Amino acid sequence: MTTPKRYERIAFVASPSGEAQAALTQLSALYGNADPDLADVVVALGGDGLMLQTLHDHMRSGKPIYGMHRGTVGFLMNEFSTIDLHGRLEAAQESVIHPLLMRATDAGGVVHIHHAINEVYLFRQTAQTARLRILIDERERMPELIADGVLVATPAGSTAYNLSVQGPILPINAALLALTPISAFRPRRWRGALLPNTAYVIIEVLEGDKRPVAAVADHDEVRDVRRVEVLSDKTISMRMLFDAGHSLEERILSEQFGY
């Protein structure tokens, strides 16, 4: 009697690129292409942008997501191969991540709610620097930050925008968030802070009419914000699958040594 496979029904999604679409055709012919609602696992074919979109699309489904690199940036992806996909899925290691919840209030008082897997960031909309007030767990920690902006990054997102603005790389299983300034002017020597992932971060925009600021949760943008609240949403757990020896934990660790 054949033992049922844990990931028998596979749903494939692919970016619009020719390379990804060719991979979709190959893999669908070999393994079928199940309806995502009925699938045991979702396999994303593309780059990190597609992986983030796929995680957003299936954020509340509880389905594991496995990526194969057929795009530009592939930090979150496994190597592409058409061989023994069922075996690779069975042997894959699972990383569980929680998204950030952003609650942004705009100049008209409208509240916008979005989730972010990588980071939430605030950024000036004009040539003038932003003036921001930062509170952690409703206690003022910085009365005024003058900068291009500031971001809150998850461990999964710590190697993305956060790293490019000199923020710290966080191990994937660290119960931390990175709070990192973007081109800080004052305090000039402030390089950010490490926060527990239970932190409730509030960022208030000072002089918002004169110095307008936008807030972004991954790819969802809100213009002319006045107050942004950020916290880790523990009600959502997303499961990412990685080939043995190439787990997200290993990739983040390797990044810290320049690989």
Q: Is the separation of the CB atoms in 69 and 77 below 8 Å? A: yes
Token pair 């070999």: residue: 30
Ligand-binding annotation for 233, yes or no, is no
> What's the per-residue H, E or C state across the chain?
CCCCCCCCCEEEEECCCHHHHHHHHHHHHHHCCCCCCCCCEEEEEECHHHHHHHHHHCCCCCCCEEEEECCCCCCCCECCCCCCHHHHHHHCEEEEECCEEEEEEECCCCEEEEEECCEEEEEECCCCCEEEEEEECCEEEEEEEEEEEEEEECCCCCCCHHHHCCCCCCCCCCCEEEEEEEEEEECCCCCCEEEECCCCEEEEEECCCCCCEEEEECCEEECCEEEEEEEECCCCCEEEEECCCCCHHHHHHHHCCCC
Ligand-binding annotation for 200, yes or no, is no
Superfamily of domain 10-97+236-255: Probable inorganic polyphosphate/atp-NAD kinase; domain 1 (3.40.50.10330)
**What pLDDT was estimated at residue 189?**
87
**What pLDDT was estimated at residue 3?**
54
Ligand-binding annotation for 144, yes or no, is no
**What pLDDT was estimated at residue 250?**
73
Ligand-binding annotation for 254, yes or no, is no
**48 has catalytic annotation:** yes
Q: Is the separation of the CB atoms in 50 and 20 below 8 Å? A: yes
Ligand-binding annotation for 49, yes or no, is yes
Ligand-binding annotation for 173, yes or no, is no
Could you tell me how many residues make up the chain?
259
Question: Which regions of the chain are under pLDDT 50?
Answer: 1
User: What value does the CA radius of gyration of the chain take, rounded to a whole number of Å?
Assistant: 20
Residue tagged active-site, from 35, 37, 40, 48: 48
Dist CA 141 CA 129 (whole Å): 20
Domain segments of the chain as ranges: 10-97+236-255, 100-232
Ligand-binding annotation for 160, yes or no, is yes
100-232: CATH topology is Tumour Suppressor Smad4 (2.60.200)
- What pLDDT, in 10s, does the model give residues 186-225? 998 899 999 999 999 999 999 999 999 999 999 899 999 9
